[in-house]
Structure formats: structure tokens, C-alpha cells
């Protein structure tokens, strides 16, 4: 499992923390990364404060194979993510010709000219690769292992689709699950003992209440199919309700 690539996400924006905007990008990214066998291990939600962004980017970049940011790369004064990421890598940032050309062509096609505010979206750190934006043209970028993307869900999702083919995933993650109509308090002991016997597997208990009855879905995950089979068989031994 040590060779498995890992990912982290940085959600940037005062509007998320204030409750004004509901974030959906984390849910989308987690699903896409799972399908590419890259576990999302950590998500941080932080305000539009340059020093906070820079510190978080530095920490996550050092701890994980891939980092994804959402938010803060638009045309307004509070869109400071690009500058903060550049600072994390000690990179110069300025208007780049290729990014500017993309924006100029986009606005020309719409019968609009580019202005200083829109030109802010062409500011790219030195050494970064552009991320295609088929929705609204303004590119994201990749600097080191950090993928900097827009916060608008439609744009974020399009940018994720453009970068995923270039990422290297780990071994396929397999899973089996069973639903038990038992309180978690009765499941916890046997499940904990099973988890200790199978430290190479991930075991989760997800409680629910349906029609007045309490229960939990037990999910066993890992990359070794026979080990998962063995764990599920043992689960059936310690919790006879499994399989009924």
C-alpha cells in the first residue's frame, strides 16, 4: 500500500466557510479519483487569505502525490489563489502569452474585448502547465504536483476531466459490503477485532435508520480480493446475521 498514490484537496473561499455557497466539488473529485484508483486522503476548506493558502499548499504538496485546489482564480480582487500557489513554490507569476491568447480569442468570439480584470485570469506562475477550460476558456494550471482549478462546479468538473488522463493510479480498489439490521453498539466489538486481524484492509461501518429500525452497512475495502473474501467469511462467523 506504500506505493499507492494519494491525493488531497484544498477548497478555497470565504463563501464556502460562511455557508453562502454549498461545495459540491469535493464530492465530485472524490468519486472521479476513486474510479482512477487514487484515494482522496485529506480535504481542507480555507478562507481567501494568501498566507493560509500558501501554507496549506506547501503542507499538502509535501504529504501527497497529487493536490487539487478549487476556487480563487477568477477576475476579482479576492481571487488570490494563483499568487498564493506561486508563492508556495517560489515561482514568479505574471500574464503569460499563451493564457492571454486563449482569453483574447474567447472574448473576441463573443464580441467582447479583454479588460484588466479579465487579464488577471491569464496570470500564470512560471513553469506551470495550463489546464484546459472548455466551459469558460480561462485556464487553470499545474505547478509541481498541485492542480489549480476554478470553483464553479461546471468548470471544475471539466478541468478534472482534462487532467485525469495524465495521473497515475494505484492498484484497483476492491470492496464488498453487507447490510445488517443491528445497532452499531452490537457490531463494534466483533468488527474492531476483525479490523485488527486484517490491518491491510479498510473496514467501515455506516449507520442508518430506516422505518424505525437501526442498522449499519459494513464495507470492506482493499486491493487483494482473496483477503477481502477471507475477511467477509470471518465476518459471517463472528456476526451470524451476515448472509441472512
Residue 1 forms part of a structural domain: no
Residue 107 CA to residue 35 CA, distance in Å, equals: 35
Do residues 18 and 116 both lie within one domain?
yes
Number of domains in the chain: 2
Residue 204 CA to residue 177 CA, distance in Å, equals: 9
Q: Are 34 and 69 in contact (CB under 8 A)?
A: no
Do residues 186 and 114 both lie within one domain?
no
Residue 244 forms part of a structural domain: no
Do residues 48 and 136 both lie within one domain?
yes
Boundary residue ending a domain (143, 166, 189): 166
pLDDT the model gives residue 241: 65
Q: Is the pLDDT of residue 96 over 70?
A: yes
Residue 192 CA to residue 177 CA, distance in Å, equals: 16
pLDDT the model gives residue 39: 93
Pairing relationship of beta strands 129-131 and 140-143 according to DSSP bridges: antiparallel
Phi and psi at residue 122, to the nearest 5°: -100, 5
Cell of 8: 488531497
Residue 127 forms part of a structural domain: yes
From residue 110, alpha-carbon distances to 100, 120, 128, 154 in Å are 15, 19, 27, 19
Residue 73 CA to residue 191 CA, distance in Å, equals: 45
Residue 185 CA to residue 152 CA, distance in Å, equals: 41
Give the residue numbers spanning the domain of 226.
174-238
Instruction: Report the mean per-residue pLDDT for the chain.
Output: 93
Residue % of the chain over a pLDDT of 70: 97
Mean pLDDT over 16-37 rounds to 95
Band of pLDDT at residue 99, cut at 50, 70 and 90: very high
Do residues 24 and 142 both lie within one domain?
yes
Residues 53-85 pLDDT 10s: 999 999 999 999 999 999 999 999 999 999 999
Amino acid at each position: 500500500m506504500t506505493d499507492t498514490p494519494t491525493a488531497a484537496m484544498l477548497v478555497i473561499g470565504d463563501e464556502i466557510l460562511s455557508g453562502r455557497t454549498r461545495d459540491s466539488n469535493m464530492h465530485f473529485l472524490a468519486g472521479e479519483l476513486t474510479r482512477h484508483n487514487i484515494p482522496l486522503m485529506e480535504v481542507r476548506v480555507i478562507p481567501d487569505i494568501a498566507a493560509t493558502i500558501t501554507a496549506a499548499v506547501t503542507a499538502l504538496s509535501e504529504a501527497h502525490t497529487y493536490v487539487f485546489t478549487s476556487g480563487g482564480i477568477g477576475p476579482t480582487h479576492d481571487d488570490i489563489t494563483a499568487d498564493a500557489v506561486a508563492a508556495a513554490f517560489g515561482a514568479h507569476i505574471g500574464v503569460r502569452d499563451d493564457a492571454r491568447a486563449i482569453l483574447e480569442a474567447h472574448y473576441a468570439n463573443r464580441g467582447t474585448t479583454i479588460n484588466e480584470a479579465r487579464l488577471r485570469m491569464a496570470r500564470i506562475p512560471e513553469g506551470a502547465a495550463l489546464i484546459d477550460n472548455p466551459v469558460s476558456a480561462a485556464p487553470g494550471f499545474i505547478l509541481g504536483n498541485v492542480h489549480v482549478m476554478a470553483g464553479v462546479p461546471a468548470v471544475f468538473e471539466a478541468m478534472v476531466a482534462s487532467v485525469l488522463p495524465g495521473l497515475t493510479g494505484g492498484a484497483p480498489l476492491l470492496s464488498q459490503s453487507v447490510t445488517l439490521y443491528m445497532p452499531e453498539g452490537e457490531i463494534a466489538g466483533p468488527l474492531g477485532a476483525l479490523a485488527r486481524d486484517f490491518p491491510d484492509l479498510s473496514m467501515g461501518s455506516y449507520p442508518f435508520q430506516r422505518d424505525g429500525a437501526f442498522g449499519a452497512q459494513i464495507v470492506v475495502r482493499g486491493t487483494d480480493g482473496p483477503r477481502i473474501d477471507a475477511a467477509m467469511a470471518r465476518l459471517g462467523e463472528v456476526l451470524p446475521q451476515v448472509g441472512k
